[in-house]
Structure 1
Amino acid sequence: MDIPLAEQLRPQSLDEFVGQEHLVGKGKPIRRMIENKKVISMVFWGPPGTGKTTLARIIAKYIEANFVSFSAVAGGGVAEVRKIIAEAKKNYGLFQKTTVLFVDEIHRFNKAQQDAFLPYVEDGTITLIGATTENPGFEVIAPLVSRSQIYVLYSLTEKEIETIVKKAIKFYPKHKFEKEAVEHIIKNSNGDGRTAINAVELSASLSKKISLKIAEEAVQRKAIFYDKKGDWHYDTISAFIKSMRGSNPDATLHYLARMIKAGEDPIFIARRLVIFASEDIGNAQPTALVLATTAMQACHMIGWPEAGLILAQTATYLATAKKSIASTNGIMVAMGDIDELNLDPIPLHLRNAPNKLMRSLGFGQGHIRYPWKVERETGRKIIQEYMPKNLKGKKYYIQDWK
């Protein structure tokens, strides 16, 4: 069976490893840990193709430990964990050889499965290295997180991808890669080293002469990493909203395009637009809420791909609209006062007076129902107190636009 190019190219040492200089560079934490041969359990958090598995293998090699790979995707359960632990105890007892247990996609394990690792991490039977594309603070149980060091791995830069692509191309000395083809592979790998290597391998299988057209065929499209239930999902919608708030329609369209390409639910995006129209624009431009609500209804009726046009129109309108948080701040402060202050009685004249007893107690007495009408007809200014006694004169709604 042919070994995939990505596996053939897998670095065997820190000197061959590309990227993550903040972790493996001179004097950086993982390099120091390896050099001192004092490795603790850790979790690697980052997008695909950034070197999580490779780095775990290198660590095990440097400290001369057994490397055992375990994946949630492959369906490993608690019984398999126990077998691995038993073997690790045996190796340590007979040969004084430690075991590095690499758990890929650790966020996919349920609580019981993650709990199974815990005692053996605590007593040093295994050194656990977990890999996840999800925030470990949410997806990994707290006891494991507290006993591990969390390291964040970042998408590779174009320069780092270029280094990897050049190494991959050397495996095909009889092939000719045109400059434009190589640039296309680098730019469309989206910081994912594995995607870049796979694109080179596929290009080489399609033709001996790799033109831009062949590279485009191999890459197909940019490999957008976007888990709808994960951090990248929330990071993208956050950037989208903040771009609208910052009145930047170009950035707004960029993040909208990311979500469209990733197949995000158009109604999810539309709901955020409705909320934004009220929260961040409010009465500075009240038509924003009308447009956003209409857009959500239209997206519901139409769906992809045409919903993208409706979302683009609405998002750019909201990005370029006047902004106001007067009503948003007002209701937040008012609700805060409900929590913090005493609730003084509602003024008698504002209370409902459905019967004779209530009216005899002064409910509704002296209330002018349409003060604006009286003022218009008489020219007399009507002053009527609406606030409870302890909030008299309190201002919640303060206009903040011109």
Structure 2
Amino acid sequence: MSERLFDEGAAVGQDAEVAAGDAPAAGDRGPAGDAGGAPLGQADAPLAARLRPASLDEVVGQATLVGQGAPLRAAVEADRLTSAILWGPPGTGKTTLAHVIAEATSSAFVAVSAVTAGVKDLRAAVEAARQRRAHTERGTVLFVDEIHRFSAAQQDALLPAVEDGSVVLIGATTQNPMVEVNAPLLSRSLLYRLDALGDSDVAVLVDRAVTDQRGLPGTTVTDEAAQALVAAADGDARAALTALEAAAAIAGDRAVTAADVSAALARPRLRYDRAGDAHYDQASAFIKSLRGSDPDAGVYWLVRMLAAGEDPKFLARRMVILAGEDIGLADPQALPVATAAFAALERVGLPEARYNLAQAAIYLALAPKSNAVTQALAAADTAVERLGNADVPHHLRDTHYRGAAALGHDGPVGSDSANAPTPQAAYAYPHDDPRGWVAQRYLPEGLEPGDIWQPRGRGAELTLQAWRDSRPCTPGDEP
């Protein structure tokens, strides 16, 4: 049994020390839920808190981590922990595993929240860990909940202690640690990914809640209500138990029904974080659906992100970008449609502008696709890098000032001077030609027509490509 320093609402320096011999009995163990909580057994604690597992055998799901022979289970049972990052969606058991580790390890266990702790608190915790090891030869497991909320400086403050073994760091995060955790800290930690619970796992928890004496003993839940809870939880254990507790309060002495669950939920839960993986994953799915010409998927992801609270201007901007990047001149109307939807959003606002956003999404999905504009930009970037300060052809240079002609701009120059410019062809004004174009060179030396814009031959590009190919582009090519 470990020494535990758990007062998750307080800073490290304020945490109360619980000696190993004074640890609570099994029915009264540690705070519950990934957000912390009151000890199990307290009647007024949330249901998720009262049902928090006290051992690995009580953990539901995550068999690849805590099943028999799994790596994390082996490390906990052998009390040979190494620094680790627990990464997963809310309600998948990250903090639960931390508290199970607290019960199992012989080391001191210190828990802090990245929401409230500062660099000063972390340094105090690290110094206490070093003193503990020096005087008692006991190690320290430092659990940091929501470690992604720590700044780079705060994470850097942990690095020396992790590196020299003063603490074993257990960090919990809902965000991608490859992005949110400093690379040096991540390289010194094992990464354990926790998946959203399966429907069968959530069903086990719902059943446990109404049969375990710590839960809601005596409460009856209809099969339809249990199915509704499982569906609404979307793999989040805490969400399922919170909804069950609210539904049971609505039902009172009668059985909990699906209608009670619906009333408790009010609206579906959508797992989303406008700065996290869900945001980027769903935005990626939205754009790839439009690029892939699937209007159904495009509207689905649009509506799902709006329902989860995404900024509609973000979605409108993405459609404006896609109109140029993935459609371009294959459908020249794509950009006006996208920008019109953006303008409608700014003038009308939600919810009415959903019509305009959906209309644009469907149009863009069904428009012919071409990345010729994207490739033209890439080719031009390469040409600029390769050619550097290539000279502007003389006949294209500015002629608005006195003396431009003497420099060879816009026409032949005659001079007996050895330093006089080489005679150049005069600029031909396209509108003076009945065809509206003339065959003259517009590119610098080192580039030829067709090197930059290479149409894909789709949609309106066919017409534009045919027109370009029907005329010569340089002097001497005329029939």
TM above 0.5 = yes
Alignment of 1:272-351 (within 5 A): 272-351=318-397
1:367 matches 2:423: no
CA–CA distance in structure 1, aligned partners of residues 309 and 409 of structure 2: 58
Counterpart contact for 1:266–1:307, Cα < 8 Å: no
Instruction: Give 1:392's aligned residue.
Output: 448
- List runs of 5+ in structure 1 lacking aligned partners: none
Counterpart contact for 1:190–1:222, Cα < 8 Å: no
Deviates more, 1:278-287 or 1:6-15: 6-15
Instruction: Give 1:252's aligned residue.
Output: 298
Counterpart contact for 1:288–1:318, Cα < 8 Å: yes
Q: Give the partner amino acid of 1:367.
A: Y
Q: Give the partner amino acid of 2:381.
A: M
Higher relative contact order (CA 8 A, sep 6+): 1
Instruction: Show CA shifts across 1:12-44 (max 9, x none).
Output: 333322223333345543234335543211112
CA RMSD in angstroms comes to 2.3
Deviation at residue 205 of structure 1 after TM alignment: 1.9
Q: Give the partner amino acid of 1:65.
A: S
CA–CA distance in structure 1, aligned partners of residues 368 and 68 of structure 2: 50
1:263 matches 2:309: yes
Deviation at residue 192 of structure 1 after TM alignment: 0.9
Counterpart contact for 1:375–1:382, Cα < 8 Å: no
1:219 matches 2:265: yes
Alignment of 1:33-52 (within 5 A): 33-52=75-94
Instruction: Give 2:286's aligned residue.
Output: 240
Deviates more, 1:77-86 or 1:337-346: 77-86
Q: Per the alignment, do residues 47 and 359 of structure 1 end up closer, same or farther by CA in structure 2, a change over 3 Å counting?
A: same
Alignment of 1:97-246 (within 5 A): 97-170=138-211, 171-207=215-251, 208-246=254-292
CA–CA distance in structure 1, aligned partners of residues 318 and 58 of structure 2: 45
1:18 matches 2:74: no
Instruction: Show CA shifts across 1:344-381 (max 9, x none).
Output: 3122222222245321333122222117x62539xxx9
CA–CA distance in structure 1, aligned partners of residues 210 and 289 of structure 2: 39
Q: Give the partner amino acid of 2:300.
A: H
Counterpart contact for 1:122–1:147, Cα < 8 Å: yes
CA–CA distance in structure 2, aligned partners of residues 343 and 82 of structure 1: 55
Instruction: Show CA shifts across 1:33-66 (max 9, x none).
Output: 3355432111122221011111222234333333
Deviation at residue 70 of structure 1 after TM alignment: 0.7
Q: Per the alignment, do residues 216 and 259 of structure 1 end up closer, same or farther by CA in structure 2, a change over 3 Å counting?
A: same
Counterpart contact for 1:281–1:288, Cα < 8 Å: yes
Deviation at residue 93 of structure 1 after TM alignment: 4.3
CA–CA distance in structure 1, aligned partners of residues 131 and 50 of structure 2: 31
Which has the higher Rg, Structure 1 or Structure 2? 2
What TM-score do the two structures reach when normalised by structure 2? 0.77
CA–CA distance in structure 1, aligned partners of residues 365 and 333 of structure 2: 13
Higher-helix-fraction structure:
1
Percent of aligned pairs sharing the same letter: 44
Instruction: Give 2:15's aligned residue.
Output: none
CA–CA distance in structure 1, aligned partners of residues 300 and 439 of structure 2: 52
Counterpart contact for 2:210–2:218, Cα < 8 Å: no
What TM-score do the two structures reach when normalised by structure 1? 0.91
CA–CA distance in structure 2, aligned partners of residues 116 and 395 of structure 1: 53
Instruction: Give 2:404's aligned residue.
Output: 358
Q: Give the partner amino acid of 1:140.
A: V
CA–CA distance in structure 2, aligned partners of residues 42 and 219 of structure 1: 35
Instruction: Show CA shifts across 1:66-89 (max 9, x none).
Output: 32221123x223343344335434
Deviation at residue 182 of structure 1 after TM alignment: 1.0
Counterpart contact for 1:136–1:145, Cα < 8 Å: yes
CA–CA distance in structure 2, aligned partners of residues 71 and 110 of structure 1: 13
CA–CA distance in structure 2, aligned partners of residues 182 and 199 of structure 1: 11
CA–CA distance in structure 2, aligned partners of residues 65 and 95 of structure 1: 10
- List runs of 5+ in structure 2 lacking aligned partners: 1-41, 412-425, 460-479
Instruction: Give 2:51's aligned residue.
Output: 9
Counterpart contact for 1:188–1:221, Cα < 8 Å: no
Deviation at residue 301 of structure 1 after TM alignment: 1.4
- SS of match in other structure, 1:304: coil
- SS of match in other structure, 2:59: coil
| Of 121, 124, 147, the match for 1:80 | 121
CA–CA distance in structure 1, aligned partners of residues 427 and 130 of structure 2: 83
Instruction: Show CA shifts across 1:67-116 (max 9, x none).
Output: 2221123x223343344335434544454432211111112223343333
Counterpart contact for 2:379–2:451, Cα < 8 Å: no
Deviates more, 1:144-153 or 1:205-214: 144-153
Counterpart contact for 1:169–1:200, Cα < 8 Å: no
CA–CA distance in structure 2, aligned partners of residues 308 and 13 of structure 1: 48
Counterpart contact for 2:53–2:59, Cα < 8 Å: yes
